[in-house]
Amino acid sequence: MRKYFAFVLFIFVVNAAAAGNKYSAGFEYASINQQPTTSADRIEVIEFFWYGCPHCFHFEPTLNRWLADKPSNVDFIQIPAPLNKSWEIHTKVFYALELMGMQKQLHEKLFEAIHMKKMRLFDEKSITDFLVKQGVDREKFQKNLKSFAVSSKLNKARKMMQDYQVKGVPQLAVNGKYITSGRMAGGYQQMIDVVNFLVAKESKK
C-alpha cells in the first residue's frame, strides 16, 4: 500500500511539473474575489506597502530591479497601506506628494530617512520638517495633506485593503485576482518570481 501511494504521489508530482505548475494557489499565492482593474487590456500589479515597514524597505531593491525590466504589458501601482490608524499619516503623505508631482523623487528618501538614518518620521510635524529640507513647499504640502483629494484617496486605500485582504506588507496583487507576500512565496525574490508566473498566466488569457 505504501509503495502504491508513493508511486501515485510520484506520478502526480511529475505530471504537475510537466504541466508547468510551478506555483499553486493556497501556497505561494492566494486567489481572491475579482477586483476591478484600470484596463482590461493590461496586467495590473499592485504593491501594498508602508514607509515604516522594514520588510518593505528591504524589498525595494528587488522590486526596483523588476520594475526596470518588467513585462511591457504590466501596469504597476503602489498603495501606501493604512493598515491601522497610525499608518494613515504615511498614506496621506504619499498622496499629498503625488498631487505635487514629487512622490517619485522623495519615495526612496523617506524610506532611507526612516530605516537608515533612524529618523522618527511618524507624525505630521516631523515629516513636514523633513520634506521641507528636501525642497518641498511647507504651505502647499500642508494644504494638500488636508485636501479632499487626499482624504478621498485615503478612503479608497482603506477599501482596497479590505477588498484585497491585506493583513501585512509588503504584499503584491496581480490583475485583481491573486495576492502574494514574502511569507507565502518564501522571500523577496520569490515574490517577484510568483508575480512573473501570475503575469504570464494572465497574459495567456
Q: What is the pLDDT of residues 103-157, one digit of tens each?
A: 999 999 999 999 999 999 999 999 999 999 999 999 999 999 999 999 999 999 9
Bigger pLDDT: 12 or 191?
A: 191
- pLDDT value at residue 148: 98
Q: What is the pLDDT of residues 47-102, one digit of tens each?
A: 999 999 999 999 999 999 999 999 999 999 999 999 999 999 999 999 999 999 99
Confidence of residue 40 (pLDDT cuts 50, 70, 90): confident
Using CB atoms within 10 Å of the CB of residue 180, give its burial: 0 to 12 exposed, 13 to 18 middle, 19+ buried: buried
The three cell numbers of residue 50 are 508602508
* CATH architecture for the domain at 28-204: 3-Layer(aba) Sandwich (3.40)
d(CA 130, CA 25): 42
pTM reported for the whole predicted model = 0.88
